[in-house]
Amino acid sequence: MGEENKTDIYSVEIHGAEDAVTPPNDEKKNKYRNLKKKLQKKKDKKDDNLKQELEIDDHKLSLAELEEKYGTDLKSGLTSTKAAEILARDGPNRLTPPKGTPEIIKFLRQMVGGFSLLLWAGAILCWIAYIIQYAQDNTVARDNLYLGIVLAGVVILTGCFAYFQEARSTNIMASFNNMVPQQALVIRDGEKKEIPADQLVTGDIVEIKGGDRCPADLRILSSQGCKVDNSCLTGESEPQSRSNEFTHDNPLETKNIAFYSTTCLEGIATAIVINTGDQTVIGRIASLASGVSNEKTPIAIEIEHFVHIVAGFAISVGILFFIIAVSIGYRILDSIIFLIGIIVANVPEGLLATVTVCLSLTAKRMAKKNCLVKNLEAVETLGSTSIICSDKTGTLTQNRMTVAHLWFDQEIHAADTSENQEDQSFDQSSGTWIALSRIVALCNRAEFKPGQEDLPIMRRIVVGDASETALLKFAEVILGDVMGIRSRNRKIVEVPFNSTNKYQLSIHDTEDPNDKRFLLVMKGAPERILDRCSTIMIGGKERPLDDEMKESFQTAYMQLGSLGERVLGFCHYYLPEDEFPESYPFDVDSMNFPTDGLCFVGLLSMIDPPRSTVPDAVSKCRSAGIKVIMVTGDHPITAKAIAKSVGIISAGSETVSDIAERLKIPIEKANKRDAKAAVVNGMELKDMTSEELDDILKYHSEIVFARTSPQQKLIIVEGCQRQGAVVAVTGDGVNDSPALKKADIGVAMGITGSDAAKNAADMILLDDNFASIVTGVEEGRLIFDNLKKCIAYTLTKNIAELCPFLIYIIASCPLPIGTITILFIDLGTDIIPSISLAYEKAESDIMNRKPRRKLQDRLVNANLAIYSYAHIGIIQSVGAFLCYFTVLAQQGYLPSRAVNIRVYWENVNDHELEDSYGQEWTYRQRQLLEWACYTAFFISIVIEQLADLIIRKTRRNSLFTQGLLRNKALLIGLASQIAIASFLSYCPGMAEALHFVPLRVQYWFVATPYAILIWVYDEVRKLICRRHPGSWYEQNMFY
């Protein structure tokens, strides 16, 4: 890069210089007017540039042009001086880490995010109220001071809990750095040197061999049998051969480019470094991943929405009664105290802890089902998901090549592609199969690692590439002891596979003591193998390879190829004993043995097969209204075949090309809207506008994106999000990490997943099984329903806690319940019951309903708030006030006397206040009676909350249908309420400490009729909703 690009070197732009936007002279005067807008515009442009495809032309250049471009010598390499200059200009060959978020900032975010702000506001208001009261009277009770401290404590404790639950490294770059090779073999000053990989520069000549990681992006100059594993970039499980041939315009497809951090599996290669550090393909993906901002989770949006509702309601009611208090003659300072008390009474202090614990419990439950949740809020996000963009390799498939079909005796046979491959049901009695199986076992360089005899065949580790591993395991399952077969048929000579010949050949002794002939076995590209054959084996006997046989071969080859399978041809030839005696000196250089006139035996096709649980999982997703989109770097034919086999493209669905083929018309004339399915190639996607992509996503219900780059995966996710969808992305490779981070929820594979993918994701599938996502969706939907029930339960008593302050102000009667007493409802008796609702089972099959709509199906909607506040809340308030007035009346203060007595009641110097019967009460006696009222009001709310908890088990079903005893945690919750209330009422010393006094037993039953009324009222509501679905009543009463 030139000097002018230096400001952009760490942003890794394709067109770095274009970002150096210099305003024209006439704009310089207004330099700071729209600074924020310009910075945002520039950031968006940088993001867009990162999303563009990599523009490399080095694979098209001749060797002479490469020398000229990089100022190097392909034989002697760079000079040390020149290398030092380039290193100073471009920087070291390593990835630039982004600015990390300090742990203290992460911790503070937990303290002030969403719901916490409401509690902080309540705590501060309490302290303000206490300061005002203390300024007027320094003997005032410290209730507000303690309440503020408790609220602050709740926020700090739940914040710490959430922080430690989510404590994880979010530095995506650390995992990319783990992939960087430590040393590189370079030619400089005409000498081979081993230098630290971060000292490499563009123009360096390097050598790589099997087992090495590529130290930079390389253009291959020469190679011998070089194969690389590109699966982390493209998703292809098959090793890719590398040579100096320019084979494709796309740099990701051509054979003469090897990429930074990909592994060289075998062979050797000499190459020139064309990109280092952040300029490499991996560097761009790293920049893309670390530059992608995390989206706010749906549950975070819902909690924010809930906070707005509660805060809005509390402030509105507070201001209203502030005005009423002032207008009926209260002093301004007293009115402010009332205002604060009303606002604080509306704050559901225990809800933050409840939500955090409920999400944690669900996260633990999901971990048992192989879904490890890194971000607590992601628990619910999966339940809201409407589109899953799934990677193919390793997620939908088993991530191992497997023999899928065989063709011999002019018939296609299906092999067992399940995880254990034990049910091989094709006919194995034919002589042709015996010959084919022998070739499969012998013409194969793969070997099992020793000492694995006790392991199942499919779990054994193999030294060899993916295709040969598949053939070895296939042969081992059917034949048994392949290594023994090889030892009995000793290999004499071998010609390894190369990209020129496209075949692999070996010559063997045979184990038949009566047959002294050598056996030549060969496998390779089917058309190349067929060209070398003059006969074909049918039923164990050789026949001439005529046109009819060739046509039969061609039909089978095309049929297997159309399934997206990799097809190999197999042939053999017994070398005549008189021409090739036992002592014959075979020479692979001069090829002094026949490679034509062979006998064609059959075809085997291989594929990375789908996991057995995936079709059912995809079907469940479809019934749950979730669209599953395959996004893979693999070939479109393979991708389409897998999509059809797992149900992403359902039976009978046609793509545009299928329609054109059926109608025998050019593809351009086929109506795209008639196609239910779409298979989109990355090259097509590259030239699409956002509107064209939106059109595909909107009008096709079954979509496969193939040959996609990391940038395109990100663009696809953004396209889905533009549709208003909640997007889950699954992936395992480095190339998936930007999309995983951009998605509403990223799901990485735990076994095959790269560190980069795991760090970028919100959830990790420990068993790499797509079917586990369906479990996650179910749990996510259930927790959303149960959080609704928790919130409805928690909000109900807010009215019963608020009304005492309103009556206290308006009727000027003794305070029915104190702030500390309210606190023991919110943080004492109500916590365990509300958490117990997280264990509630689903009312119906939640996987048969559509995903919730983000802006319509809210966690807290108007129906829930109105029903909790205005229906059940009012019933609770009436019951609690009945108990309050009953206590006062039985002690001598009838309701008529209790009204307008507040000023005298609270006068500490008045020790002769008369009740309705003329009895005189001292201030201390009145204080104890007031605390008895607090306790009675508290007990009434607890009794009514028992009924409220029971009705919240269901929102539509009758309790008789759901069953009261199924949720054991809820029974514990009911018992805990009674136990805590009894302890607070009857424990000695509670009167002075917390203003609770022992209560007569009969007062516990005053509110019982209202508890029964709550249950009956709600059962009637549910019955009408069930009987009249879609009616006005249901629309307004179902929450």
Other CB atoms within 10 A of residue 752 CB = 17
Pairing mode, strands 763-765 and 745-749: parallel
Calculate the dihedral angle through the C-alpha atoms of 498, 501, 504, 508, rounding to the nearest 10 degrees: -130
pLDDT band at 1012 (very low <50, low <70, confident <90, very high): very high
Residue 1037 confidence (pLDDT) above 50? yes
Length of the chain: 1039
For CA atoms 109, 110, 112, 114, the dihedral sign is: positive
Residues 768-802: pLDDT tens digits?
Answer: 888 888 888 998 899 999 999 999 999 999 899 88
Structure tokens at 582: 């036992």
Catalytic residue among 198, 229, 391, 1018: 391
Separation of alpha carbons 627 and 630, rounded Å: 10
Structure tokens at 984: 């607070």
Lowest mean pLDDT among 20-29, 758-767, 1000-1009: 20-29
Nearest to 948 by CA among 791, 805, 812: 791
Lowest mean pLDDT among 47-51, 990-994, 1026-1030: 47-51
Distances (CA, A) of 477 to 388, 481, 798, 804: 36, 9, 68, 78
- Please compute, for residue 462, the number of CA atoms within 13 A of its CA located in the half-sphere on the CB side: 24
Residue 824 confidence (pLDDT) above 50? yes
224-227: which pairs have CB atoms within 8 A and are 24 or more residues apart?
A: 224/267, 224/268, 224/269, 225/266, 225/267, 225/268, 225/496, 225/497, 225/498, 226/264, 226/266, 226/267, 226/268, 226/269, 227/264, 227/265, 227/266, 227/267, 227/465
pLDDT-above-70 percentage for the chain: 91
pLDDT score, position 1026:
92
- DSSP SS3 for 463: strand
Separation of alpha carbons 488 and 473, rounded Å: 19
What is the rounded average pLDDT for all residues in the chain?
85
Q: Kindly give the residue spans of alpha helices, DSSP state H, lying in 292-430.
A: 298-327, 332-345, 351-368, 378-384
Residues 493-549: pLDDT tens digits?
Answer: 999 887 677 899 999 999 988 888 999 999 999 999 999 999 999 999 999 999 999
Residues forming beta bridges with residue 602, ordered by sequence position = 570
Separation of alpha carbons 299 and 783, rounded Å: 10
By CB atoms closer than 10 A (0-12, 13-18, 19+), residue 325 is: buried
By CB atoms closer than 10 A (0-12, 13-18, 19+), residue 653 is: middle
Find how far residue 821's CA is from the centre of its chain.
43
Residues 793-804: pLDDT tens digits?
Answer: 999 998 998 899
pLDDT score, position 176:
46
Residues 325-372: pLDDT tens digits?
Answer: 888 888 887 788 778 777 777 777 777 778 878 888 888 888 888 888
pLDDT score, position 265:
83
590 Cβ partners below 8 Å, 6+ apart?
none
CA angle 147, 148, 153 (to 5 degrees): 95
Mean pLDDT of 1003-1007: 96
Separation of alpha carbons 227 and 787, rounded Å: 53
For CA atoms 592, 593, 595, 597, the dihedral sign is: positive
Separation of alpha carbons 603 and 523, rounded Å: 9
Separation of alpha carbons 1011 and 879, rounded Å: 8
In the chain, what is the greatest distance between 2 CA atoms, to the nearest angstrom? 136
pLDDT score, position 236:
67
pTM: 0.74
Residue 566 confidence (pLDDT) above 50? yes
pLDDT score, position 54:
58
Structure tokens at 38: 């310009």
Residue 947 confidence (pLDDT) above 90? yes
Residue 295 confidence (pLDDT) above 50? yes
Find how far residue 562's CA is from the centre of its chain.
32
Distances (CA, A) of 980 to 348, 522, 649: 19, 81, 57
Q: Which residue has the higher pLDDT, 226 or 19?
A: 226
H or E, element range at 183: strand 183-188
Nearest to 375 by CA among 640, 860, 746: 746
Q: Is 12 left (phi over 0), alpha (psi -120 to 50) or beta?
A: left
Structure tokens at 516: 């002294």
pLDDT score, position 3:
37
What do you get for the CA distance between the two ends of the chain, in Å? 60
H or E, element range at 921: strand 920-921
Residue 171 confidence (pLDDT) above 70? no
Residue 170 confidence (pLDDT) above 70? no
Answer yes or no: 391 catalytic: yes
Burial 567-593 (b: 16+ CB within 10 A, else e): bbbbbbbebeeeebeeebebeeeeeeb
Residue 554 confidence (pLDDT) above 90? yes
CA angle 357, 358, 359 (to 5 degrees): 90
Mean pLDDT of 126-141: 84
Lowest mean pLDDT among 453-457, 520-524, 877-881, 1035-1039: 453-457
Nearest to 183 by CA among 196, 171, 192, 167: 196
Q: What is the DSSP letter of 613?
A: T
Residue 943 corresponds to which amino acid? Answer: I
Q: Which residue has the higher pLDDT, 387 or 589?
A: 387
Pairing mode, strands 263-275 and 217-229: antiparallel
Other CB atoms within 10 A of residue 1024 CB = 14
Main-chain phi, psi angles of 685, to 5 degrees: -60, -35
By CB atoms closer than 10 A (0-12, 13-18, 19+), residue 941 is: buried
